[in-house]
Amino acid sequence: MADAYLQVIAHYHASPGNGHRVVELLAVTSYMVREEDKP
């Protein structure tokens, strides 16, 4: 059976001046999701 995967597609609108914070949080979230299923 093929490996299962999760794909999340999201569209974010950052408040003016907060774009960098959105990028930081998305990077942390994506890292955590990738590490979640590792033994």
Residue-wise pLDDT for 9-32, tens only, equals 878 788 999 999 988 988 888 888
Which pLDDT value is given to residue 15?
A: 92
What is the rounded CA–CA span in Å between residue 19 and residue 22? 5
Higher pLDDT, 15 or 7: 15
Higher pLDDT, 21 or 7: 21
Which pLDDT value is given to residue 11?
A: 81
* pTM passes above 0.85: no
Q: What is the mean pLDDT of residues 4-10?
A: 78
What is the rounded CA–CA span in Å between residue 33 and residue 6? 9
Measured in whole angstroms, the distance separating CA 29 from the mean position of its chain's CA atoms is 4
What is the rounded CA–CA span in Å between residue 29 and residue 31? 5
Which pLDDT value is given to residue 39?
A: 64
